[in-house]
Structure 1
């Protein structure tokens, strides 16, 4: 059922609209044109008339044209509401109240929260798992990729530029791809030779590099990006579920992995909700980030139990071989 819902998510998100009622409106366009003529230098980067911009907005790179867009956005929202029209989107996004120069403060905060969860749990992992345990290095690599991804998620939601968008999409995909890699290495390590593991690693690295080059060529293909993420994520989920079902008796702790995968699919449905942000701060995307943070604890708890189990098995096998 979870996978059917995820597929439904694909269909809805692929139809993402890049141009919105707010920025298309004549009122907004006129406001933006007048504001830029009165306040901005040619190109819209600098202010004229000795305008003193607050330091926090200068640090977070709010140019003159950005300020005009922000002010005109709220004037347009007010105009829509006066006519009893629904809150419009602007450039494909809902209006948010900025805080300390951050465009989407809730998404920034919850992205940082996810990164903090990974940081805290890898510390617990290092405390509970011996360095010579199987897959000790693998979960550290996963943590590094995840921390990097959540850092750029926070940066992108703080200030939406083409470069920060590119890094956010690329790093988010790296986390999806790394999750798939972890799954394959864990499920196949004792069943295929080392050269095959090296081939899998090379393939994943090359695939990611090619994906980043594709994103860098021009405007991001949002539909293709979403399709690819969902396809790989669904494949990873199916494999984990199958493995957990097969090993549920022998390794009872695998319920943590199965529950993590199921809940991840469920909370992803928040991405389907497309309504104005609550208090113009909390939208469904930010709440999705909020719900993924506690799931990190569940995932690392599984990783800790799994590494302990595998090390115990290795010690037992060594002991059995030494017996006459």
Structure 2
């Protein structure tokens, strides 16, 4: 399985936001024009604002957005009546809105990932002493994951340019944080301690520069894709190589290898571009779902690894005491 190709295909799928058959069709455009005239004021408010439910007000569904949603279903009905395949709209498949949530399944599964990471860090704190090596590094990893999944929830609940930017930016933060943790673990014991501070500063500077570039006038999907491919490939290769090298000395490293193998397999869902089942669940939502259970594997690995590292420190302290005696 070529991870490089998989990640490339994923981002190519995600970034397809050009005009689609649905929003480019005559019936959709005609419906949209009529809706704007009969339902909307010039400031994007409704002619009859009192009829708008509170949850739509809360999620900032304006009149023009509501027209797009209504006309989308009219267009779908027209396509189905002609036995034509279900079209995309603005580069995305149509979803049934629930309580104002644009992609309810992806919202639910993003929340599931928040729950899993939160419950896993509780288990980590219960099983690993706070004076263990890498203890706070993995807390930072969890914090990054919780933040990224929060913004994934927000983005799938309501797709705005800002929520899209935050989702992409913090999704990359998980990738980069994983690379950072890999580097600290693989290089542990081989470099001076002060070098960790330099590495941390370099990773932080790289991330801030990446976000600064993406915040320009136009979001650079190609650049973001290329950076994710490079960082993701380095991370996967680094963990696999380290796990293979230590497979006999550290019997628990198979968990790290299994996690990244399952992660690579789960990315296959992202290259399947089919309409959502029942207009609720698509392959992207299933990808979010599969990331939740495999998260338990990586946390199981880091619990075992931190316990091992603490024992190594204890043995080293005992040897130093013996030498001084």
Q: Give me the TM-score of the superposition, normalised by structure 1.
A: 0.96
8 Å Cα contact 1:5-1:269 kept in structure 2: no
- Following superposition, the deviation at residue 17 of structure 1 comes to 4.7
Give distance in 1, aligned partners of 2:65 and 2:11: 32
8 A Cα contact 1:14 1:223, kept in partner:
no
Structure 2: stretches of 5+ with no match in the other structure:
none
How do 1:1-324 residues align onto structure 2 when only pairs under 5 Å count?
1-3=1-3, 5-6=5-6, 9=9, 12-13=12-13, 16-44=16-44, 46-49=45-48, 51-323=50-322, 324=325
Contact 2:17 2:92 in 1 (8 A): no
- Work out the CA distance in 2 between the residues paired with 1:63 and 1:49: 12
For 1:131 and 1:58, locate their aligned partners in 2 and report how far apart those are by CA, in whole Å: 45
Distance in 2, matches of 1:15 and 1:175, equals 19
CA deviations on 1:277-296 (whole Å, 9 max, x unpaired) are 00000000000000000111
Give per-residue Cα distances to partners, 1:161-192, cap 9 Å, x unaligned: 11111110111011111010010011112111
- Structure 1 unpaired stretches of 5+: none
CA contact under 8 A between 2:132 and 2:310: conserved in structure 1? yes
Q: Secondary structure at the match of 2:23?
A: helix
Q: How far apart, in 2, do the equivalents of 1:69 and 1:13 lie?
A: 22
Answer yes or no: is the 8 Å Cα contact 2:255–2:301 preserved in 1: yes
List structure 1 runs of 4+ shifted beyond 6 angstroms: none
204 and 126 in structure 1: CA distance in 2 versus 1, 3 angstrom threshold: same
| In 1: Cα distance, 2:95 partner to 2:24 partner | 18
Q: Decide whether the 8 Å contact of 1:9 with 1:269 is kept in 2.
A: no
Closer, same or farther in 2 for the Cα pair 1:220/1:20, shift >3 Å? same
Q: For the Cα contact (< 8 Å) 2:259–2:298, is it kept in 1? A: yes
Rounded Cα–Cα distance in structure 1 between residues aligned with 2:310 and 2:48? 69
Q: CA deviation at 1:238?
A: 0.5
2: CA distance, partners of 1:5 / 1:244: 23
**1:322, CA displacement in angstroms?**
1.6
* Alpha carbons of structure 1 residues 52 and 95: separation in structure 2 relative to 1, 3 Å: same
- C-alpha contact (below 8 Å) 1:22/1:28 kept by paired residues: yes
Distance 1:118 1:15, change over 3 A: closer
Give the whole-Å Cα distance in 2 for the aligned partners of 1:177 and 1:99.
33
Cα distance in 2 between the residues matched to 1:264 and 1:50: 46
Question: How many Å separate the matches in 2 of 1:50 and 1:10?
Answer: 40
Query: SS in structure 2 opposite 1:280?
Result: coil
Q: Is the 8 A contact 1:10 1:227 kept in 2?
A: no
Deviation of 1:312 after TM superposition, in Å, equals 0.6
Shift of 1:4: 5.5
Q: CA RMSD in A?
A: 1.5
